[in-house]
Structure formats: structure tokens, C-alpha cells
Structure 1
Amino acid sequence: MKIVQAIESRTPAHRDRAVDGLRALALLAVPTGHWLLGGFALTEDGAIRNASPLSTFGGLAPVSWVLQMLGIFFLVGGFASALSYARHTGPARDWLKGRLARLGRPVLGVTAVWAALLALLHYGFGVPEGTLRTASTLVVQPLWFVGVYTVITALTPYCVRAARRLGVWAAAPLLATVAVVDALRYGPYGEALPGWLSVVNILPGWMFAYQLGVSWAAGRVTRRHARGLLLGGAALFAALLLVFGYPASMVGVPGEARTNSHPPSLLVLALAAAQSGAAILLRERLGRLLRRPALWAPVVVINLSAMTILCWHQTAMLAAAIPASYGGELAGLVGAPDTAGWILARLAWMPVFAALLVLIGRYARRFEAPWANTGPALRATAGALAAGFAVFALA
């Protein structure tokens, strides 16, 4: 109770609690989605490999609609970045340098630590290389988001200018770009087009909600606009699913030829539009709700640990799965996720993953703080380790 009251007393009166609450909600959706929809199967040599319950239970796809909240994350990211940029009085490059350092330190930390862990686990404990490949893939999986977010953050000054000129419509060209690319790659001549065409969607696809957030911060998104985003996004989402045959899952499913999120398809933007509209409409109500200290305190804690959650939540799941793999299959943790029993068992494992993440976070959060006491040699070593891990993970 003292901690709750301390957090409440230190919160400035002008703090936008609703935006922080939306960010916390989107943050928690990332580990929840990965933990629920990411399973492990055992190979003949005792290694673990990725396996998804969506391969068997296609009816679970709507769960991914709820847990795919990156649209909300980019929305509030654009909102917060625009306000931060407006408050900054020095050169834009100084503002950008500070923002990028906050994103880069945790990524460098987790990849450097895992580079050392790979050697320790393989040579010290005999962990199969297949398991290490799987682990590396999972650790890298959420880091693509940080890379894309970094590039978009660097474009904030241009987003601000676009918002001033065009308001909410500044996001329309981004939506149109993704629509055109989708029409080309999924159209009758899609097979004849180069495979890299889909990569064009990465930047406009994820920048769409960010630009909406910047326009929102500029006061150029009204409640009427928000209702249009909600209803228009929902209608487009339904049409893409029912008429144009888009995959129902918002995450990749092993064996499926098409995926919505890597790179983002028009379905992702439709969902982001609907989510953004709902978030803007609920802002005042959510802000009033978070005036309660007991609800506000967890939001603050989650936001202070944002990058730690993003970078280390897969490690928490692996910390349970890798040791368990030595004992063979274990319901809900190691073993093909193809039964209803697996789903129930995985739900039971969720608190264990959360506890492991809290434990890891106690030590990993130091990577979010400025590295004031680290010398050039230590930084160079961390950089070399991170580079080595990236090469192994992406090979």
C-alpha cells in the first residue's frame, strides 16, 4: 500500500493516465500472445522446435485479434513521441539520440547476454544446437519490432509536419500503399512479381497507427474521426476476411502460405484502425478509471519496465522449457500443442512464465538505465557479443 501511495504522490497532475494505460495494455498483450500461441515440440535428438496450437486449432484465430495490439502500441508511441518532440528545445538530433539510446540499450543487453548463454548452454550443459536455434529465433522475434519502431521514431519530425498539414488524413497514403502492394502480391499476377515486393509494406504498415498517434497529439483527430476509424476499420477487416480470403490469424501459422504480420498486410491496418478509433473514444473513461491508485500503480510499473518486458519475455518461457526438455514431453510446455489438454496446461504455465519474467527483470532492468559507468572496452565487448548472436540467430 505504501508503494501504491508513493507512486500516486509522485505522478504529475498533467500526466495522461489513459495513454499510459493503453501502452501498458499493449505491452502485456505481447508476452501473453507469445506465451499462449507459442508451443514447443521435441525432435528425435531431444531438441525443441517451435510449434503453434493454431496449426491444429484454427478456431483460436480470433484470440490473435485481441492479442495483436501493436496498432495500439504504435498509436500511443506516436502520441507520446509527438508531445516529447514538441517539448524539446534543442536540436532535433539531440532529441532523437536520447530516444534511440533508450531503445538500443536493452536490445544490446539481451543479445549480448544470449551470446554468452549460447556458448555456456552448448558447451557447459550439452544443450542441442537445434534447441539453441529455436531459442535464438524466439529471442530475436520481438526485436524486429524495436528495429521498425526505431526507424519510425527517427521519422517523427516528418510525421509532425504531415499531421499539421493533413491532420488525420496524413495516415491515408500509408494505408493506400499497403492496399496497393497487397493487391499486387495477392492478385492474378502475384506469382510473377518479385518476392521482395511484400517488404515494401513494413514501414507504411507499422507507421500507419504511429502517424494516427502523432495527429492525435496535434489535436487533429476528433471523436467523429475516431468513430470513422472504428467502424471503417471493422468493416474493412470483415470484408478482407469474408470476401478477399485473408488468413484469419494475425500471427504466422506454420505451414500456411500467407501471413498477416510479417510483413503487415492490409488486415493488420484494418485492425489497427479499429483499435485506434476505440482507444481514442475510450480515452476519457479510461483516464477516470486510472485515477484509482490501486489501478494506476501497476500501469506505472509496467511502463517503467517496457523494454525489459519486450526483450526478455521469451527468455522467461525458455527458462522453463529448456530444462524441462531433458525429461521428455511435459503437458503445456514441451510436446506437440495439438490437444485441448495442452491448451489448459499452457494456461496453467502462464503464471510460471510471469514469475520467471519478474525474476529476470530484477536484473535485466539495469540495461534500460544509462550505461554511465561502462567503459569503451565493455561496450565494445557487448557490441561484439550482440553481433555474434545476431549472426547465429539470423543464419
Structure 2
Amino acid sequence: MATRAGRGLIELIDAGTPAGRDRGIDGLRAIAVLGVVLGHWLVTALVVDGDAVRVTSPLRYLPQLTPFSWLFQTLAVFFLVGGMVAARSQAAAGAGGYRTWLRGRMARLFRPVAVVLLVWGTAAVAMIAGGVPVQTVRALAGLVWSPLWFLLVFAVLTAATPLVVRMRPEWPFAVVLLVDLIRYGLDGPAWLGWVNVLAGWLVPYCLGATGTHSRRSGWLMLAGGATATAALVLWAGYPASMVGVPGATVSNLDPPTLASVTFGLAQCGAAVLLLDPLRRLLRRRPAAWAAVALVNLSAITIFLWHQTAMIAVSAVGRAAGGPLPGLHTVPDGLGWVAARLGWLPVFAVALAACWAVVRGRGAIR
């Protein structure tokens, strides 16, 4: 019965997909969303320290795991896809429909955010009133709220789409280069790096918004971005990790550096090369397309609640007699990594439960 129901859902999703829907773009978005989720689940450790909980990362203790940050830091692909979709939909809306178009996209972005803020604001007050250490409340709420910067940047770039389509990606790239030259080469002020929050993510967004890409441009971005990133890490002193590492003096992500932008170019090149194979695969495999479609329908919900799912599992585990390996212990060995991999399916079940409660349909289309 369950198998027949599953097949029925797959057939329903496949039959209900418009003929003009670009399944490859949806596939890239699903990869980007799942990359962010798995990345956070793998590099975030909630360590029980007496009565309090603190946040750390296995990358601080196991630098040999740094290559995993290259696989799971997929934000550039998200911005690339966002630029592609926004440019197409805004062009279809026309100049007279810009306000209606923007209002609809902002509603899809920020209505789910209001729910998260309400739930976690209430939870934070309740935890403090219940005697939970402020350090713990700050750590847990920070895990949930800190990724919201991404949606703010995405919203600004979305609103600027009519301007971005007239822009060349070399322009924001030059801004990032200049900012880093001043910060690191001329010992400029650290606050200047925050200019790169918009300029850095504008590069992949602009690449997506300004037109189609050939396999040749994909290979050029992949090879050029990878080469530039390797050179910056090896000879210019940039960190090898593409995510922040607690205790590190420089983060490639907070704010974005030139290395994170060149790395993003390599990712965009790989995404362009994957686009046609994904289109063919998702047309031939209705089950794969159904999974991609479901992820896209709940993309914002998944993004907003995946950290809550991990926190919920950690809280239940601690109440059941923790600390438990891979869940509450210091991530200073490969044993922790093996244990954390075992917890990933549990996190996924908890995320599915969060989705069932919230019933989010926050897609970025």
C-alpha cells in the first residue's frame, strides 16, 4: 500500500510539472540546500560543559577534515540559481509588475522567518526563566538566528534584480579584490570587509541573472576559480576552510573574502557543467524529480529549521542520559566523526517532524 501510494505521488508530481519547468535549475537548488544542511550538521558541535552548552567545530580540532568544507559550503550555487530564476520571473512580470513581483517574493522569503523568530524568541525567554544558563541560550539561539543573514542578502539582491541584469559580474568581483587589498595588503580597517557581504554574493547572483552559460564558460569558471583559490590559500595566507572555524583569526565566510568568491566561481562553473546532465536525469527519473520537487517546495523551511532539528535531538539525548558521543562531546577525534555520521539520519527525522508541524511551503522560485 505504501509503495503504491509513493508511486502515485511520484506520478502525480511528474504529471503536474509544467513542460517548461527547468528541472536542472531545481536540481541545483536542491543540491545547494542539502549541502548547507549537511555542512551545518557536520561542522557544528554542541558540547556539554558542566551545566552549560557551548558551540564548537570539528574543524578546530581536526584540520584534516577541511576538504569537507569545500563540498558542503554551497551558498554560491544558491545565489547563482537565485539570479537565474529571479531574472527570468522578473522579466516575465514586466516593468509594470515589479512591485507585485517583489512583494510576492519577499512574502515567500520572510513569512517563514517570522514563525522561526516567534518560536525561538518564546523559547529563549522560557529557557532563561527556567534557569538555563544565558551562555547556553545564546549559543542555541545563535545557531538558529545567525544563518538569517543569508536571507537578508538574498532579499536585497532580489530587489535589485532589474539593475543586476545590466551589470557585469566583473564589477562586484573588482570591489571584493579592492576591499581585500586594502584590508590585508594595506592594513586597512576590518569593518571594510562587510562591504563584501553584498559584493561577494553579488558575483554568483549576477552570473546567474545576466544570461545563459556554455560548457566553455563553465570549464573556465571551474578551472580559473579553483586555480585562483589554491593560489590564494597557498601563497596569500587565506584560510583553506571555506567555513568559519572557532578561534581562527580570519574567516573566509564572515565576511566573505576574495578566496571565498573565487571558490564560489569554481562552484558556479561546476554547476553550469552539471545543468544539462541534471536536466536529462530528472526528465528520465520521475522518482528523482519528485524528491527534488519536494525539496524545492520546502527549501526555506528546510533552511530555517534544520538547526532546530539538530538542537532538539541534542536536547532529547541529554535528557535521556547524555552526554552522548557525537552529540554532546568534544569533536576532537575520528570517533566523534563516525558517531556524528550515525546521528545524521536522526537529525533528518527530526527535521521532517519540524516540517510536518510548520507545514512550510517556502520555495524560492
TM over 0.5: yes
Amino acid at match of 2:328: V
What corresponds to 1:381 in structure 2? none
* Residue 194 of structure 2, aligned match among 192, 199, 211: 199
Q: Deviations over 1:88-108 (max 9, x none)?
A: 143312211111111110111
* Residue 204 of structure 2, aligned match among 205, 209, 212: 209
Q: SS where residue 343 of structure 1 aligns?
A: helix
* Residue 156 of structure 1, aligned match among 149, 152, 161: 161
Q: Deviations over 1:101-122 (max 9, x none)?
A: 1111011110111111223334
What corresponds to 2:341 in structure 1? 347
In percent, how many aligned pairs have the same letter? 47
Question: Is residue 143–residue 307 contact of structure 2 (8 Å, CA) maintained in 1?
Answer: yes
* Residue 275 of structure 1, aligned match among 261, 264, 267: 267
- Give the alignment of 1:325-340 within 5 angstroms: 325-326=318-319, 327-340=321-334
Q: SS where residue 40 of structure 1 aligns?
A: strand
What corresponds to 1:8 in structure 2? 14
* Residue 305 of structure 2, aligned match among 303, 312, 322: 312
Amino acid at match of 1:335: T
What corresponds to 1:290 in structure 2? 282
Q: Deviations over 1:39-85 (max 9, x none)?
A: 022223x1111011111100111100010111110000000001100
Hey, what's the Cα distance between the residues in 2 that align with 1:366 and 1:77? 19
What corresponds to 1:259 in structure 2? 251
Hey, what's the Cα distance between the residues in 1 that align with 2:256 and 2:84? 21
What corresponds to 1:377 in structure 2? none
| Aligned-pair CA distance for 1:348 | 0.4
Matched, 1:357 2:357: no
What corresponds to 2:177 in structure 1? 179
Matched, 1:226 2:221: no
Q: Deviations over 1:156-175 (max 9, x none)?
A: 0101222xxxxxxx000111
Matched, 1:303 2:303: no
Q: Deviations over 1:7-36 (max 9, x none)?
A: 000011111010000000000011100000
Hey, what's the Cα distance between the residues in 2 that align with 1:93 and 1:26? 28
Matched, 1:137 2:181: no
Hey, what's the Cα distance between the residues in 2 that align with 1:160 and 1:171? 10
Q: SS where residue 256 of structure 1 aligns?
A: coil
What corresponds to 2:233 in structure 1? 241
Unmatched tracts of structure 1, length 5 or more: 163-169, 370-395
What corresponds to 1:322 in structure 2? 315
Matched, 1:75 2:65: no
Question: Is residue 47–residue 325 contact of structure 1 (8 Å, CA) maintained in 2?
Answer: no
Unmatched tracts of structure 2, length 5 or more: 1-6
Q: SS where residue 253 of structure 2 aligns?
A: coil
* Residue 27 of structure 2, aligned match among 12, 21, 27: 21
Amino acid at match of 1:233: G
Hey, what's the Cα distance between the residues in 2 that align with 1:366 and 1:79? 23
Matched, 1:52 2:57: yes
- Give the alignment of 1:84-95 within 5 angstroms: 84-89=89-94, 90-95=96-101
Amino acid at match of 2:58: P
Amino acid at match of 1:234: A
Hey, what's the Cα distance between the residues in 1 that align with 2:343 and 2:80? 31
Q: SS where residue 46 of structure 2 aligns?
A: strand
Hey, what's the Cα distance between the residues in 2 that align with 1:324 and 1:120? 20
What corresponds to 1:147 in structure 2? 152
Hey, what's the Cα distance between the residues in 2 that align with 1:235 and 1:367? 39
RMSD value, Cα: 1.5
Q: SS where residue 186 of structure 1 aligns?
A: helix
Amino acid at match of 1:10: G
Hey, what's the Cα distance between the residues in 2 that align with 1:106 and 1:268? 28
Number of residue-to-residue matches in the alignment: 354
Hey, what's the Cα distance between the residues in 1 that align with 2:287 and 2:318? 39
| Aligned-pair CA distance for 1:366 | 4.1
Hey, what's the Cα distance between the residues in 1 that align with 2:303 and 2:98? 27
Amino acid at match of 1:110: V
What corresponds to 1:166 in structure 2? none
Hey, what's the Cα distance between the residues in 1 that align with 2:189 and 2:146? 25
What corresponds to 2:3 in structure 1? none
| Aligned-pair CA distance for 1:322 | 2.4
Question: Is residue 25–residue 81 contact of structure 2 (8 Å, CA) maintained in 1?
Answer: yes
